[in-house]
Structure 1
Amino acid sequence: MSIQLSPPQLLLVIFLFFILLGTALLKLPFASTQSVTWLDALFTSTSAMTVTGLIVVDTGTAYTTFGEIVIMALIQIGGLGIMSFAMLIYLMLGKKIGFKERLIIQQALNQTSVGGVIRLVKHLFVFSFIVEGFAMILLASEWIPEYGWKDGLYYSLFHSISAFNNAGFSVWPDSLMGYVGNPLVNFVISGLFIVGGIGFTVLTDLWYSKKIQKLSLHTKLMLAGTLIINIVAVLVIFFLEVNNPKTLASLPNPDKFLGAYFQAVSPRTAGFNSLDIGSMEEPTIIFMILLMFIGAGSASTGGGIKVTTFLVILFAVVSFLRQKKDIHAFRRKIDESFIYKSLAISMISVVLIFSAMFLLTITEKEAPFIQILFEVVSAFGTVGLSMGLTFNLTAIGKCIIIFVMFVGKIGPLTLAFSLAKKGTDKISYPKEDILTG
């Protein structure tokens, strides 16, 4: 008896397989320098595969070079997509890509149609490897003089892969706090995760479109949304933290803005930090939680509800307040189906976050509520920033965060579609008004 799996279900199964494979590899005797439990190995594997970056053991000290290479491989596979790698192997072997495989790629890359998905996969790999390689060279120019050829190149490769895939893993326990005033490291790393977080659909559209007017609505929304959110985030974090002696106030004037810039763009799923997150002001933490919830772009290496989802809901609210029937952006009408989808994604996400918070307040009784909220949203948005709670999680707490990271990566709707039974509306009922608000 053969089991027929839908594309969302197949993605779940393959994703779980790689997480379990990574767990087994990280448990090998030569993968770690200290005793790592099965649960900690599973947590690390899930965090790498979901390109989150939350850790329960320090990556640079707990794992050997082999263990770190396993983590790098999981980050690359999780960031660029399992099915993308599968299709690359198919193409290299000269195999024909059938319609079912194209449907799975469409689901994995969150595309609206199967048309052009193979071309997107090809461009995805070429662009990714070129960008990662170029960034590695730039970082190596900084780290080879500091650490030598062997370590300098290795650190450059590790952080290039981690940054482009929005993973946030670092070989240093304080992430990039040692380079808070280094322009090259700050701009190369931030450039990587911003480009990786925009989405491959946008990058392909930019490559082929000769004029701005020819860009798709999705591309215009992503570019405008990313620019506006980043500018607002830099200004907000700068003014909230400029007088905090534990973060920006202790830095020289040129480094203050650099620190604010990096920490403002990082919460949109990157997970690197150049400032101490646990020492930030509470309003800053709350603002960063909002950024982590919004996340990056569709078909990108990042997580969150996605920028376009946030914008569609925002436009819908504005249109309702203005008593307009249709929702417009850049002189284009947004179909109602995308509004329903955006609302579904947001609602499922809120329920997931609330449920995880509720459970963690039971299992982590000593933890402050703001830390629990921050950690859960960081896991959901596959960000990886932490206020220090992850290291002290109970066994049940780790399992909860593992599940949140998993759902955050595959997407709330993918999980819902894989579990829900397909139905059709065969009966139409009479309409009746209800009171709201």
Structure 2
Amino acid sequence: MLRLWPFRLLRQQGSLPTTHLPASPPVVLALGFLSLIALGTVLLKMPFATRSPISWFEAFFTATSSVTVTGLTVIEPATVLSIPGQILVTILVQIGGLGFVTFAVLAAITLGKRISLQQQALALEAFNQTSVSRIRQTAFSVIKIAFTIQGVTMLWLSLWWGRHMDFKDAIYQAYFHVTMAFNNAGMALYEDSLIGLTHDPISILTLSLMIALGGLGFPVIINILRKKRWQRLSPYSKIIILGTLTLNLLGFLAIWLFEHKNPSTIANLPWYEQATAAWLQTISSRTAGFVTMDAGSMRDSSVLLIMFYMFIGGGSLSTASGIKLGTFIVLIAAVISYLRHREEVVLMQRTVSPETVQKSLSLVLITFSLFFMGLLFITIFDKLPLRSVMFEVMSAITTTGMSFGITGELSLPSKFVLTLLMFAGRLGPLTLVYSLATRRRSRIRYPEGHFQVG
């Protein structure tokens, strides 16, 4: 978690004011997200945002799903929300995806204000950085890269879709779906999500590229743009790229194999449409939320694989959630090191610190605990098939947004549980726990004991 020693050193040198942090950075982050959700709720409840009135809770659920870039909905955005309401949702998704801290730091820099101690601590926590000097550079890079990628892709899809529809409609649909894809939100303006686009490989490949880039993580994208050659990339970037390619290719082949004879999903499609459907379904499983197959009609093997991919998620400092791909890879390396009786955990000829391994283990345990508790409460509140509830809960805690279509059928307490899971999943389970209990180092050392495990 966040370390404040750089700030103490800078204060001693007189570079920063001796300002006391009134709250830990994770608490400020949590309050920022809550404020954004509250603002989004109020705006979505206003008449201009909807074609037909919605309840306060429906507005709250939609705002939470947007800010946490989840995509689960209890209303149909394409029919219930007006154009201004849909644009409002995309703005909430964009802020939630890139991080409100990025916008706050950028605004402070633009106005020529000096970033205070509190702002620097907050930015370090959000960007997962340890160097104060990199805050401004990272903030600018995130904004510039995100809007450049989205802008170019919007233009391309507008031209592509403009061949078959009014150009203004093509521009708007490109804007909406590219924003959702890059920020891994998964809301669509079609009732069947992207199932109707399986005949259009260009659109599927374009949107899947947006999902993959958004989920890769800005540190990796920045490293690629700066170094330009594989040999010069950082070990972290290499491991994330290789891990992403491996998961995507294996998942694509597995889902195609599992579903190609399933008449309820893709069995009746030509082989190339089966391939595009399986490809986007796989890419989207890692917290994007778009679907090219009806999730409720998929085979159990496919559902389990998708839930596993949801749990892993994308890269650190990305628009995706989950435990993060880097966490998963570190734990795999730790297991391999243990089986080989190696004292150190090694990745790409680099030693992984024990603190990183502990953080990874904690993140997995906390995420799974939240998943289990959410599952337990919803099964108490509602009598629905366990498979459907498990999928819904995993989708919420990993902010994926895929659903068996039961979100609207859940009782009010179950829907509230989902909002809590979405908030915790986006904020980060470790950050959430850090918000509730300040980390303190004990000077007491105890004798080593032997405990049986395994």
Give the Cα–Cα distance (whole angstroms) in 2 for the partners of residues 315 and 201 of structure 1.
21
| 8 A Cα contact 1:102 1:118, kept in partner | no
Which residue number in structure 2 is paired with residue 431 of structure 1?
A: 448
Give the Cα–Cα distance (whole angstroms) in 1 for the partners of residues 183 and 127 of structure 2.
14
Aligned counterparts, 1:323-362, within 5 A: 323-362=341-380
Secondary structure of the residue aligned to 1:340 is helix
Give the Cα–Cα distance (whole angstroms) in 2 for the partners of residues 430 and 68 of structure 1.
60
The yes-or-no answer on 1:111 pairing with 2:129 is yes
Give the Cα–Cα distance (whole angstroms) in 2 for the partners of residues 113 and 147 of structure 1.
49
The yes-or-no answer on 1:53 pairing with 2:98 is no
Secondary structure of the residue aligned to 1:147 is coil
Give the Cα–Cα distance (whole angstroms) in 2 for the partners of residues 424 and 430 of structure 1.
17
Which residue identity does 2:317 align to in structure 1?
Answer: A
Give the Cα–Cα distance (whole angstroms) in 2 for the partners of residues 421 and 111 of structure 1.
20
Which residue number in structure 1 is paired with residue 11 of structure 2?
A: none
The yes-or-no answer on 1:14 pairing with 2:60 is no
Which residue number in structure 1 is paired with residue 56 of structure 2?
A: 38
| 8 A Cα contact 2:201 2:276, kept in partner | yes
Give the Cα–Cα distance (whole angstroms) in 1 for the partners of residues 42 and 344 of structure 2.
52
- Residue by residue over 1:42-81, the C-alpha shift from the partner in whole angstroms, topping out at 9 and shown as x without a partner, is 1100000000100110000011011111101100100011
Give the Cα–Cα distance (whole angstroms) in 2 for the partners of residues 241 and 256 of structure 1.
9
| 8 A Cα contact 1:295 1:381, kept in partner | yes
Give the Cα–Cα distance (whole angstroms) in 2 for the partners of residues 383 and 98 of structure 1.
35
Give the Cα–Cα distance (whole angstroms) in 2 for the partners of residues 229 and 99 of structure 1.
40
Which residue number in structure 2 is paired with residue 128 of structure 1?
A: 146
Which residue number in structure 1 is paired with residue 232 of structure 2?
A: 214
Secondary structure of the residue aligned to 1:231 is helix
Which residue number in structure 1 is paired with residue 7 of structure 2?
A: none
Report how far residue 113 of structure 1 moved.
3.9
| Alignment CA distance shift 1:363-1:229 (3 Å) | same
The yes-or-no answer on 1:100 pairing with 2:113 is no
Secondary structure of the residue aligned to 1:101 is helix
The yes-or-no answer on 1:86 pairing with 2:104 is yes
Aligned counterparts, 1:377-388, within 5 A: 377-388=394-405
Which residue number in structure 2 is paired with residue 233 of structure 1?
A: 251
Which residue identity does 2:347 align to in structure 1?
Answer: A
Secondary structure of the residue aligned to 1:145 is coil
Which residue number in structure 2 is paired with residue 73 of structure 1?
A: 91
Which residue number in structure 2 is paired with residue 197 of structure 1?
A: 215
Aligned counterparts, 1:156-175, within 5 A: 156-175=174-193
Which residue identity does 1:30 align to in structure 2?
Answer: F
Give the Cα–Cα distance (whole angstroms) in 1 for the partners of residues 132 and 65 of structure 2.
29
Q: Percent identity?
A: 38
- Residue by residue over 1:172-215, the C-alpha shift from the partner in whole angstroms, topping out at 9 and shown as x without a partner, is 11111110121111011100010010000111111112543332
Which residue identity does 2:433 align to in structure 1?
Answer: A
| 8 A Cα contact 2:208 2:283, kept in partner | yes
Which residue number in structure 1 is paired with residue 314 of structure 2?
A: 296
Report how far residue 112 of structure 1 moved.
4.3
The yes-or-no answer on 1:399 pairing with 2:424 is no
Give the aligned CA root-mean-square deviation in angstroms.
1.3
| Alignment CA distance shift 1:296-1:137 (3 Å) | same
Aligned residue pairs total 435
Which range moved further: 27-36 or 226-235? 27-36
Which residue number in structure 1 is paired with residue 427 of structure 2?
A: 410
- Residue by residue over 1:232-287, the C-alpha shift from the partner in whole angstroms, topping out at 9 and shown as x without a partner, is 10011010001001112110121111111111111001111111111111110011
- Residue by residue over 1:142-190, the C-alpha shift from the partner in whole angstroms, topping out at 9 and shown as x without a partner, is 3223331222111110111111111101111111111012111101110
Give the Cα–Cα distance (whole angstroms) in 1 for the partners of residues 393 and 85 of structure 2.
26
Give the Cα–Cα distance (whole angstroms) in 1 for the partners of residues 113 and 274 of structure 2.
53
The yes-or-no answer on 1:153 pairing with 2:198 is no
Give the Cα–Cα distance (whole angstroms) in 2 for the partners of residues 102 and 188 of structure 1.
36
Give the Cα–Cα distance (whole angstroms) in 2 for the partners of residues 435 and 3 of structure 1.
42
Structure 1 alignment gaps of length 5 or more: none
Report how far residue 382 of structure 1 moved.
0.9
| 8 A Cα contact 1:59 1:173, kept in partner | no
| 8 A Cα contact 2:21 2:118, kept in partner | no
Report how far residue 115 of structure 1 moved.
3.9
Report how far residue 3 of structure 1 moved.
8.6
Give the Cα–Cα distance (whole angstroms) in 1 for the partners of residues 133 and 235 of structure 2.
17
Give the Cα–Cα distance (whole angstroms) in 1 for the partners of residues 115 and 26 of structure 2.
18
Of 332, 337, 347 in structure 2, the residue corresponding to residue 314 of structure 1 is 332
Which residue number in structure 1 is paired with residue 42 of structure 2?
A: 24
Structure 2 alignment gaps of length 5 or more: 1-19
Which residue number in structure 2 is paired with residue 182 of structure 1?
A: 200
| 8 A Cα contact 2:195 2:277, kept in partner | no
Secondary structure of the residue aligned to 2:310 is helix
